[in-house]
Amino acid sequence: MNLHLLPDRTGAAAENMALDFLLLQRYPHPAVRFRHYDWRRPAFTFGYSQKIAFVRAQVAALAGDPAAMDLCRRPTGGGVVDHREDWTYALVIPRGHRLEEVPAVQSYRAIHEALAAALRGQGVAAEAKAAADPEPVDGAAPAAPGVCFQKAELYDVINPATGAKIAGAAQKRNKHGLLFQGSIWRPAAGAGVDWDRFREDFGAALAAALAVEAEPVPWPELAEHEVDGLTEQYATPEWNESR
């Protein structure tokens, strides 16, 4: 099993989310899949279970009119993610790989330790957060996922000196494997990062962590009707506003 390094692509939010999900569902090879992508318009994505009223309020506070942003609900969980200045990627680990079979916290740690190592290679102070925050007192329920990059959780990538969050992610697991959608907040990483070099270094670090060989490959031949259909679904009010 190899790590397939897919070509970069730029898409609207619904298209990017659809392609990530189809890389989990329909990829024609038994390989780990990695891709970095950009955004056609200023975009925010949000977790599968989040309420649209909360999302719009957070987007308004961060960016003004939500209608001016490209909004899409992710197939994974997590909070509201601002993609205007981030470096976005998706990783799919198929069934049969050992890291797909471990608890989510372990896969989260392994991937983020590889990411932090790639950043440190360019002098960025970065490490996976090693300790969880204290449990709420007096029986209070843990806070629901809110806005990414405002608060670091266990094994998010942080600056160890300041505690500022650099990278986070969300996961979805099904019978096909594990989809990992990740985001690096570039301002937190610093202005000196060469992102082309980072892409190569991160791919190499992932290959080492997954104990597979990395190889660049062309974009897979996904069924056009499925790509178009899922993109259209992810752009509908029913998908984005129903929860």
On the question of pLDDT at 201 being above 70, the answer is yes
The H or E element that residue 167 is part of is: strand 165-174
Distance CA 68, CA 11 (A): 16
pLDDT score at 193: 98
Identify which has the larger pLDDT, 154 or 145.
Answer: 154
Closest by CA to 151, choosing from 129, 176, 125, is: 129
Phi, psi of 97 (to 5 degrees): -90, 140
pLDDT score at 145: 60
On the question of pLDDT at 214 being above 70, the answer is yes
Identify which has the larger pLDDT, 142 or 198.
Answer: 198
Tell me the residue type at 59.
V
Query: Is residue 139 one of the residues assigned to a domain?
Result: no
Query: What pLDDT digit, counting tens, does each position of 13-72 carry?
Result: 999 999 999 999 999 999 999 999 999 999 999 999 999 999 999 999 999 999 999 999
Query: Is residue 135 one of the residues assigned to a domain?
Result: no
pLDDT score at 131: 83
On the question of pLDDT at 141 being above 50, the answer is no
Query: Is residue 141 one of the residues assigned to a domain?
Result: no
Which residue, chain included where needed, has tokens 């569902």?
25
Query: Is residue 93 one of the residues assigned to a domain?
Result: yes
Residues near 232 by Cβ (< 8 Å), separated by ≥ 6? 14
Closest by CA to 7, choosing from 224, 227, 218, is: 218
Mean of the per-residue pLDDT values for the chain?
A: 93
User: With pLDDT > 70 as the criterion, what percentage of the chain qualifies?
Assistant: 95
pLDDT score at 30: 93
Query: Is residue 106 one of the residues assigned to a domain?
Result: yes
- Tell me how crowded residue 100 is: count the other CB atoms within 10 A of its CB: 17
Query: Is residue 156 one of the residues assigned to a domain?
Result: yes
Query: What pLDDT digit, counting tens, does each position of 106-135 carry?
Result: 999 999 999 999 999 999 999 999 987 766
Question: How much is the pTM?
Answer: 0.93
pLDDT score at 138: 56
pLDDT score at 142: 45
pLDDT score at 132: 78
pLDDT score at 143: 47
Query: Is residue 185 one of the residues assigned to a domain?
Result: yes
Query: Is residue 136 one of the residues assigned to a domain?
Result: no
Q: What ranges in 121-223 are assigned the alpha helix state H?
A: 186-189, 195-210
User: With pLDDT > 90 as the criterion, what percentage of the chain qualifies?
Assistant: 90
Task: Tell me if residue 1 falls in helix, strand or coil.
Answer: coil
The CATH number assigned to the domain holding 34 equals 3.30.930.10
Structural domain range at position 54: 3-130+146-241
Query: Would you give the DSSP letter of residue 158?
Result: E
Q: Are strands 43-46 and 70-73 parallel, antiparallel or unpaired?
A: parallel
Number of domains the chain is built from? 1
Q: What is the mean pLDDT of the segment spanning 84-110?
A: 95
